[in-house]
Amino acid sequence: MFITLEGVDGSGKTTQAELLVAALGRNTVRLREPGGTPAAEEIRSLLADPETPLDPIAELLLFCAARADLIGRVIKPALETGQTVVCDRFVDSTIAYQGVARGLGIVRVREINDAATGGLDPDLTLLIRIDPAKGLRRAQSDDRFEAEGLRFQERVAEAYDDISRREPHRVTVIDGEGTPEEVHARIMAVVEAKLAR
């Protein structure tokens, strides 16, 4: 099973990915995007640096290059051997951040991502929903996207809500309010129900 976690900056995705992997056990691979391979980690460093100006199209293509490498080298091989893959961000992030918040357009971003993913979609996406202002306050870094400010994060949140309405068969919205343990319990209820099918 391929599970992704999505949400605005500071929504708790990383913490919840760690808790989910621990709960699912040893046959689970934890990944983050961009990242997970040497090349993708280099791309991550470049993308996170607010001091390095990037054209929005260049930003999009860098995300997709990192994603293609991660899929080919890690995700597909893991899924083929029956492992569960839990990934902190995937295509929905690129649609929300670059397609909507950066204004590149959803159709264009989907087409480029289709080339990068070879059509691979998550079996389940957990969208952790919190107030963007709260997320920005508790975000722990000052990367390129957090530096864009609140209105940018609000556009990202609106885009995520639109994705969840369009793809309810894949995307489940998780209330991100409360303690990490409370949010984890909500996530486990959804994941266990999916695994039981």
pLDDT digits (tens, 9 = 90+) for 143-188: 777 778 889 999 999 999 999 999 999 999 999 999 999 999 999 9
Rounded mean pLDDT, 115-144? 90
pLDDT of residue 140: 66
* Residue of higher predicted confidence among 142 and 72: 72
pLDDT of residue 51: 87
Calculate ∠ Cα 60-61-62, nearest 5°.
Answer: 90
Name the pLDDT band for 50 (thresholds 50, 70, 90). confident
Longest dimension (CA), the chain: 47
Rounded mean pLDDT, 119-147? 87
Average pLDDT, the chain: 95
Q: What is the DSSP string of 3-67?
A: EEEE-STTSSHHHHHHHHHHHH-TTEEEEESS-SSHHHHHHHHHHH-TTS---HHHHHHHHHHHH
Residue among 144, 133, 132 nearest 98 (CA)? 144
Q: Choose the weakest-confidence range: 105-114, 119-128, 145-154.
A: 145-154
Name the pLDDT band for 123 (thresholds 50, 70, 90). very high
Q: Which residues pair with 86 in a beta bridge?
A: 3, 30
pLDDT of residue 9: 92
Rounded mean pLDDT, 20-49? 96
